[in-house]
Structure 1
Amino acid sequence: MHKTLATPRLGLLGDSFIYAGPNIQADVCRHSVTLACALGPEPITIAAEGRSWQGHLLAIRPFLKRAVASGPAPVALIDLEPSHPRYNTFSCQAPDASVTVLDTARFAGLLSCVQGFADQRLSGSQLRAAVCLHVADVADSIGPEMPVSAPVLQMMAAVRMDPASDLGVLGRRVGLPARRASQLFVSALGLTVRQYALAEKIRRAAMFLGSRRPLTDIAQLCGFADSAHLAKVWQRCYGMCPSTFFGGRLAASHGNLDLAWRQQVSLADAAQYPSASPVLRRGSFAP
């Protein structure tokens, strides 16, 4: 195994994140678009919907329940959240385009980027810029950029402020009936408002990675019913129990977690507001 990956690395980038770690054997179903990159000679195998795909670089559409297996070498994953500007390029593809095997020669820059992250040569603003550049390149090969309309952007902003917002409230905010607002949202992003709200809760929870905060506190602040609900959702998305991420194994103080969110959450600030709407502020992570 690559010596720098004895412990996984995780870079949090606001509307995406990058993970590099040991080989993967997991059954997952994520809300995010995933770019899976093999960091060794063995390809990654994806099995879903009675089919299988194999390659060193694969683009996986969201909400695809799949089994993922890699060889003995490390792997890297780039996950694009629904708020990412190119998310809908992947999510609104035809149903049969569940997994796309990408040309490693054409996207050698992306593989070099994730290898640099795995080797701890790439981090911070350079990492964010490189990921943004190479993800846009991959997205352009999948389909054209599809700008999101103003009403949908308004609904997305409202859900980020309060993931508990229902369709009636969101529809009134943009001057549309609830049914029409829902149709517009799904058409633009390829997921429902409810799915988007859950994705936002997961994104908020990820802000606490490495904080060693109790899972109960994190669940409450991020709008989950309880810690069991958060644990169930996290396990389904990432194939590992949340303690792997929120406990000591990926503690920021050990330098194994690259916290690079555009905005970080403070428990002191969030405690002053309803649990569904923690306040976000710029600044350092509140340990």
Structure 2
Amino acid sequence: MPEHAATMHKTLATPRLGLLGDSFIYAGPNIQADVCRHSVTLACALSQQPLSIHAAGRCWQGHLLVIRPFLKRTVDTGSAPVALIDLEPSHPRYNTFSCQAPEASVTALDAARFAGLLACVQGFAQQRLSGPQLRAAVCLHVADVADSIGPEVPVSSPVLQMMAAVRMDPASDLGMLSRRVGLPARRASQLFVSALGLTVRQYALAEKIRRAAMFLGSSRPLTDIAQLCGFADSAHLAKVWQRCYGMCPSTFFGGRLAPHNGNLDLAWRQQVSLAGSLANRWESGAAD
């Protein structure tokens, strides 16, 4: 085993998670899981061993893979460490990936071209990169990857308004949102799906998951977190979390991940709330 790989294995004896507001970064010793989640995932190998993604009867391998949302897949890194960057639907470049042609379920990228991204996740895994510097680095490198996939596609004002409303209240339904933007429900739904590649209901569930993740390190009971984030109960939260991340919530919420342990980075605390950002973007667009 190469020296850097051996060091990485030792460093990642326990997982590390960074909360960046509209994205997450996770580094762990290895992953073998069946998952299906709403986020765009950038999967990065942290050793010389490539990753393997199995989905729809196909297998993709590489050191840097981009995975579309809602793709049911099996992730297998063997015994090798891995880092995952998940872009939430609220991320400004989410639709660059989510609105690709259906055949682009998984895209293998040139690891040499995006060596900066791999260095970034290595730095996070080894606890050399954290806080605002981590958030800035991830933002920069994700934008670089997104530009290689396709151009940035602006989101219309009605969709931005609906996104902001759901962020403030995930219980908002399509009827409420369509009235807010002054459009028929069917037209509002079409605009939303066309812009982001997912439905209002899927976006609302993603927001509930994002809210739940913000309680990591809080030591609050799972029942309280489920109630505060709009889930029916803790069993509902556990079911959704297991489907999305392939691990039970206790792995994340059971106290193993905490800032004082050095394996939970709360970079999102330095980030302006997306609701405010969306409102500002909408007001700017309306003024143009």
TM-score higher than 0.5 here?
Answer: yes
User: How many angstroms apart in 2 are the aligned matches of 1:229 and 1:71?
Assistant: 30
1:256 equivalent among 260, 263, 267:
263
8 Å CA contact 1:211, 1:252 repeated in 2: no
Gapped runs of 5+ residues in structure 1? 265-287
8 Å CA contact 2:132, 2:270 repeated in 1: no
User: How many angstroms apart in 1 are the aligned matches of 2:180 and 2:12?
Assistant: 47
Structure with the higher helix share, 1 or 2: 2
* Deviation string, structure 1 residues 9-54 (Cα, Å, up to 9, x no partner): 1110000010001111000001000000000111110001111100
User: How many angstroms apart in 1 are the aligned matches of 2:142 and 2:270?
Assistant: 21
TM-score, normalised by the number of residues in structure 1: 0.90
After TM superposition, give the deviation of residue 250 of structure 1 in Å: 1.1
1:131 equivalent among 109, 125, 138:
138
Q: 1:263 to 1:214 in 2, by over 3 A?
A: farther
- Highest RCO, 1 vs 2 (Cα 8 Å, sep ≥ 6): 2
2:176 equivalent among 153, 166, 169:
169
For this pair of structures, how many residues does the alignment match? 264
8 Å CA contact 1:44, 1:70 repeated in 2: yes
After TM superposition, give the deviation of residue 263 of structure 1 in Å: 6.9
After TM superposition, give the deviation of residue 188 of structure 1 in Å: 0.2
| 2:130 aligned with 1:109 | no
* Deviation string, structure 1 residues 174-218 (Cα, Å, up to 9, x no partner): 110001000000000000000000000000000111222110000
| 2:90 aligned with 1:83 | yes
User: How many angstroms apart in 1 are the aligned matches of 2:49 and 2:126?
Assistant: 18
Residue aligning to 2:193: 186
* Deviation string, structure 1 residues 73-129 (Cα, Å, up to 9, x no partner): 210000000000000000000000000000001000000000011111101111111
Residue aligning to 2:102: 95
Aligned-partner residue type, residue 225 of structure 1: A
Q: Secondary structure at the match of 1:249?
A: coil
8 Å CA contact 2:134, 2:267 repeated in 1: no
Gapped runs of 5+ residues in structure 2? 1-5, 272-288
8 Å CA contact 2:32, 2:78 repeated in 1: no
The runs of at least 4 consecutive aligned structure 1 residues that moved more than 3 Å come to none
Residue aligning to 1:199: 206
Identity of aligned residues (%): 89
8 Å CA contact 1:86, 1:139 repeated in 2: yes
Residue aligning to 2:279: none
User: How many angstroms apart in 2 are the aligned matches of 1:259 and 1:160?
Assistant: 19
